[in-house]
Homo-oligomer: A and B are copies of this chain.
Amino acid sequence: MRDLLRVPVGEVVDLSAHDAAVTPAGPRDKAAGRAETARTGKPLAALQERLWAASTAGDRRRILLVLQGMDTSGKGGTVKHVVGLLNPSGCRIRAFKAPTPQELAHSFLWRIRKALPRPGEIGIFDRSHYEDVLIARVHGLVPRSEIEDRYDRINGFERSLAEDGVTVIKCFLHLSYDRQRRRLLKRLDNPDKHWKFDPADIDERALWPAYQEAYEIALRRCAAPYAPWYMIPADHKWYRDWAVGRLLLEHLQALDPHCPAADFDVEECRERLLKQRDL
């Protein structure tokens, strides 16, 4: 899946040329997809445990899964269904909202650095520092020259992460304009989902072409060998979850973490335990 979904480095990105409803290399339908995603849980959790175990012996490696996408593209759903397969105690999840006054008083990477996974952990960003070249660009929140500068700073930042043992997996959940309308209407149809709806989402939707362009530039400028972007067709939720799960699994398999060997005398410990008197 990594080779199939990876955004080529240094090439122009045209989102309109990518169908968001395709299911490349995926299971044949929703039922099969859901079942296969569920089956990924066991190997995922086993590899996650080994990643954590290795960290107890000084291995600094960890994973950072970055989820980006338009409203209703399923960032939250991916956390629920894919990250939900992992052992929650080894996950460090952060959803980034509009920056607070305190956060705005710092560099845009300040709050990102504070939320990074520690060695052995799997970090998950629901939105990320990319908002600072997406919404910030579309709404002109900072001068264009500052936006230009940010792509370079993001690249430098992500390179330093990779050098520090962080496997950065950036997923763009690619949703179609029509599918977004259907999902927003569905939220309106269900009173239990009204809390998820904000009328301002409709105004943002009107800026769809500008957002697509901002994504195309971000994907082109920040797709790097040390921090690849993956384009996940996201019109089908089951495919989106399956694909992100596969990506996580393949990266963990490539890391191939190992449980550290005992740094104590196993036989002596066994004897001591067996000799301890009964109560």
Contact = CB atoms under 8 A, between A and B. Distances in A.
B188 A276 contact: no
A262 B185 contact: no
A197 interface: yes
Contact of A88 (B57, B88, B194, B206): B88
Interface residues of A, number: 51
Contacts of A53: 192, 195-196
Given A192-B259, A259-B194, A264 B87 contact: no
Contacts of A181: 273-274, 276
A225 interface: no
B202 A276 contact: yes
Given A191-B262, A194-B266, 9 more contacts: A45-B80, A56-B195, A83-B88, A83-B89, A88-B88, A188-B269, A197-B262, A202-B269, A209-B279
Contact of A84 (B76, B84, B177): B84
B184 A273 contact: yes
A84 B278 CA distance: 36
A147 interface: no
A79 interface: yes
Most chain B CB atoms below 10 A, which of A192, A194, A270: A194
Contacts of A89: 76, 79-80, 83, 93, 95, 126
Assembly of this chain: how many copies?
2
A272 interface: yes
A157 interface: no
A234 B260 CA distance: 28
A64 interface: no
Given A93-B88, A126-B89, A197-B264, A185 B270 contact: yes
A245 to B, nearest CB: 14
**Most central of A89, A197, A199 by chain B CB within 10 Å:** A89
A276 B185 CA distance: 12
Contacts of A87: 79-80, 84
A65 to B, nearest CB: 12
A96 interface: no
A197 B181 CA distance: 53
Contacts of A261: 191, 194
A49 B108 CA distance: 30
